[in-house]
């Protein structure tokens, strides 16, 4: 069957087995190209902004591979880029769900309405949401693509969602060089104390 959706055309990367992309689980990670932000410390700038340069994986090949390896995997992570920016995201997730694996989605937190829709529809089991740093540093941290007010407003909607869907959403902050120890403390303080925030090490992009 031919690829039919733009979302499938953007699936341009795979890590067949990962032990560190969904805490406690062995997962396959798929990467979808394209991102609405321009973080200067982006971990995968080619995928985020020049995804057309990468080869497509193809719907049928990916689904066949996942079905074949399903018994050795605990789940699947859809990362990016920014998956919520994909046209046809729901169709993509429906296709992936047919492989019989729970799905975690990684997101930069810019689209709370999309995340709410996915949770209510049962299309994802877990969300990992970026908190880039203190609100006032968001313009710097996102290449001037998200203001402090915008970040605060969007993340506050996701905090509410996290309370409505307990244990389904966790927050992540990458310790990029721009963030001082004091910034990390402020980042923890701006996320409600009853919600999980994981700090992860910064790994420079290969390209
Ligand atoms: S949100 Fe993620 S993928 Fe997008 S530019 Fe920032 S680091 Fe890169």
Please report the pLDDT score of residue 204 as a whole number. Answer: 85
Domain with residue 18: its CATH number is 3.20.20.70
As a whole number, mean pLDDT of residues 142-157 equals: 98
Residue where the block lists tokens 């859809």: 78
Tell me the residue range of the domain where 185 lies: 6-201
Does ligand 1 have an atom closer than 6 angstroms to the CB of 141? no
Q: Does 1 fall in a domain?
A: no
Report the distance separating Cα 156 and Cα 191, nearest Å. 9
**pLDDT 10s digits, 119-143:** 999 999 999 999 999 999 999 999 9
CA–centroid distance, residue 104 to ligand 1 (Å): 17
pLDDT digits (tens, 9 = 90+) for 45-78: 999 999 999 999 999 999 999 999 999 999 999 9
Q: Which of 12, 33, 43, 48 to mutate to test the pocket of ligand 1 (most atoms within 8 A of CB)?
A: 48
Residue 24 falls within a domain, yes or no? yes
pLDDT-based confidence at residue 1 (cuts at 50, 70, 90): very low
Q: For atom 3 of ligand 1, which residue has the closest CA?
A: 81
**Residue 40 domain flag:** yes
The overall average pLDDT reported for the chain is: 95
**149 alpha-carbon distance from chain centroid:** 21
Are the beta carbons of 89 and 82 closer than 8 angstroms?
A: no
Is residue 207 situated within a structural domain? Answer: no
Does some domain include residue 23?
yes
Number of structural domains (the chain) is 1
Asked if residue 3 has pLDDT above 70, the reply is no
H-helix or E-strand spanning residue 126: strand 126-130
Ligand 1 center to residue 189 CA distance, Å?
Answer: 23
Residue 38 near ligand 1, beta carbon < 6 Å: yes
**Element of type H or E holding 93:** helix 89-97
- In sequence order, the 6+-apart residues with CB closer than 8 A to the CB of 122 are none
Q: How far is the CA of 45 from the centre of ligand 1 (A)?
A: 8
206 in a structural domain: no
Look at residue 206 in the predicted model and tell me its pLDDT.
64
CB 35 within 8 A of CB 44: no
pTM: 0.95
188 falls within a domain: yes
**82 CB near ligand 1 (under 6 Å):** yes
Q: Which residues share a beta bridge with 78? A: 30, 105
């Amino acid at each position: 069957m031919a690829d039919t959706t733009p979302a499938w055309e953007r699936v341009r990367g795979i890590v067949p087995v990962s032990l560190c992309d969904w805490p406690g689980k062995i997962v396959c990670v798929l990467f979808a190209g394209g991102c609405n932000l321009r973080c200067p410390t982006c971990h995968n700038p080619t995928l985020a902004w020049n995804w057309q340069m990468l080869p497509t994986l193809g719907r049928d090949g990916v689904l066949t591979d996942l079905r074949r390896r399903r018994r050795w995997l605990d789940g699947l992570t859809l990362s990016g880029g920014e998956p919520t920016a994909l046209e046809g995201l729901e169709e993509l997730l429906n296709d992936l769900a047919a492989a019989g694996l729970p799905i975690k989605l990684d997101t930069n937190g810019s689209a709370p309405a999309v995340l709410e829709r996915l949770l209510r529809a049962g299309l994802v089991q877990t969300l990992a949401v970026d908190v880039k740093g203190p609100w006032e540093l968001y313009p710097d941290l996102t290449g001037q693509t998200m203001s402090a007010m915008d970040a605060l407003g969007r993340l506050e909607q996701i905090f509410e969602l996290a309370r409505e869907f307990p244990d389904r959403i966790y927050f992540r902050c990458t310790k990029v060089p721009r963030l001082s120890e004091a910034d990390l403390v402020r980042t923890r303080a701006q996320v409600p104390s009853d919600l999980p925030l994981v700090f992860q090490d910064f790994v420079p992009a290969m390209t």
